[in-house]
Amino acid sequence: MAVGKISRRRMLLAGGALLALGAAAGFRSISNGGDLAFEDLPRARGFRRIRGGAVSAPRDFMIGIEETAGGAETTAIGNSPEAICAALHKGDSPPADLVPIAYFTDYNCPYCRVLSGILETLSEDPQAGVRIYWHEYPVLGEASLMAARGALAARRQGAYKAFHRRLMRSRFLPDENYLRALAGGMGLDASRLLRDMGASRIDDDLARTRALARRFALRGTPALVVGRTLVEGDISADRLGRLVALEREDGGWRRLCNAGAPEG
């Protein structure tokens, strides 16, 4: 789904605001990273950002800017680096030799379809040295929310990745009948899946992801937090590989997540 139409004036105002924020923080280039240049994230202490590619945003992405300005819902995960890491990594402690990648995705986002394939390939390659944490972030409408709930319900039957893959490859907007047929075709308990979609645990999972998105001021999908670096928008496999290598060499995410000591 493409970015919704908004007035030229609002686009210019929003773009100017984002550029001003970037200029205020200041990008810090790194000699061996080519086009990888970092800026600090003031609302996520110790984390940083690089510029990404195209993003699929809600119909009016100014809403996201307005919501993050007041810091809504960010207290649900706390503002310490350890609390943010725990939410990004779903309570897991990634081994020191694996670079964690938190992935925010929406099933109606065309860029997510490509990036999901890249990440799935990485996750299945033992030489890649990454651990991926999938975060359902449905921002593109009711169909996105239903698909996200379906995928999270499939996780409770041990079929999240397969369900995610099928939804990403589907040309249909999911409804209850579609999800029932999809689950049955995969050998899942379709009735249980539909019941689980309304479970409070799934509500909590989606709420934590929204809180993280507000902490990182995400404007849409896809978005990645690779180690301690946020990337909004699409990213090529080559550029992602270079970022993973830099995060592994730098090791800042380990100190940040384990001791709460931000790296400069």
Q: For the chain, which domains are there?
A: 8-259 (3.40.30.10)
Residues 6 or more apart whose CB falls under 8 angstroms from that of 179 comprise 146, 147, 150, 190, 193, 194, 197
Residue 56 bridge partners (DSSP): 221
Q: What is the pLDDT of residue 59?
A: 63
100-126, pLDDT tens digit by residue?
A: 999 999 999 999 999 999 999 999 998
Residues 6 or more apart whose CB falls under 8 angstroms from that of 116 comprise 103, 105, 164, 165, 168
DSSP state letter for 75: G
At residue 134's C-alpha, the angle toward residues 72 and 159, to 5°, is: 130
Q: What is the pLDDT of residue 34?
A: 57
Q: How far apart are the first and last CA of the chain?
A: 37
How far is residue 20's CA from residue 14's CA, in Å, rounded to a whole number? 10
Whether the CB-CB separation of 78 and 84 falls below 8 Å is answered with: yes
Q: What is the pLDDT of residue 49?
A: 95
Q: What is the pLDDT of residue 42?
A: 87
pTM for this one?
0.80
The beta strands (E) that lie in the chain are given as 28-29, 37-40, 48-50, 99-105, 130-136, 223-226, 229-232
DSSP state letter for 137: -
Q: What is the pLDDT of residue 60?
A: 53
How far is residue 222's CA from residue 237's CA, in Å, rounded to a whole number? 14
Per-residue pLDDT of the chain (264 residues; tens, 9 = 90+): 333 333 333 333 333 333 333 333 333 433 344 578 899 998 899 999 998 999 998 865 434 433 433 444 444 688 899 999 999 999 999 998 999 999 999 999 999 999 999 999 999 998 999 999 999 999 999 999 999 999 999 999 999 999 999 999 988 888 999 999 999 999 999 999 999 999 999 999 999 999 999 999 999 999 999 999 999 999 999 999 999 999 999 999 999 998 544 443
What b/e sequence results for 204-232 when a residue is b if at least 16 CB atoms lie within 10 Å of its CB, and e otherwise? ebbebbbbbbbbbbbbbbbbbbbbbbbbb
Mean pLDDT score of the chain: 82
> Three-class SS of residue 52?
coil
35-49, pLDDT tens digit by residue?
A: 788 999 988 999 999
Q: What is the pLDDT of residue 29?
A: 38
